[in-house]
Amino acid sequence: MIDITTEELKQKLDNKEDFVFIDVREPHEYEQFNLGAQLIPLGTLPHQLDQLEEHKEKEIIIHCRSGARSGNAKNYLAQLGYKNVRNLLGGVLRWIDLYGRD
C-alpha cells in the first residue's frame, strides 16, 4: 500500500473524492487543528473497527501529527485485511508547513 503525500491529499480533498479519512490523534490535538477527518484516536482504534468494517475494500487515508501513529494504524489495519490504507506522509505538521492552518 502506497502512502500519500500532502499534495496528493489536498488534491483529493479539493476534488471531493470519495475515501474514508481518519485522524488518529488525541481529541485535544484535533480541537487545536484538524483537516476534517473522522477522529478515531489510535488507542481506541481496535475498539472502533465496527465503524470501518464496511469500508474494508475502500481507500482509507489515515493521518496524525507527523505520520508515526498513522503509520502504526495503517499497519494494524493491513494486518486485519484492509486492502487500500494510506498514511499521510509528514502528517498535520507537513500540511501546516505547506498550507497553513486555513
- In the chain the domains, ranked by start, together with CATH numbers, are 6-99 (3.40.250.10)
Tell me the one-letter amino acid at 64: C
pLDDT digits (tens, 9 = 90+) for 10-33: 999 999 999 999 999 999 999 999
pTM, full prediction: 0.96
64 is catalytic: yes
- At 97, list the grid cell: 508547513
> To the nearest 10°, the Cα dihedral for 60, 13, 48, 87?
50
Alpha helices in the chain (DSSP H): 6-14, 27-32, 68-79, 91-99
Of 9, 45, 64, 88, the catalytic one is 64
Which of 22, 39, 35, 38 lies closest to 102 in space, CA to CA?
Answer: 35
How far is residue 1's CA from residue 60's CA, in Å, rounded to a whole number?
11
Asked if the model's pLDDT at residue 70 lies above 90, the reply is: yes
pLDDT digits (tens, 9 = 90+) for 30-45: 999 999 999 999 999 9
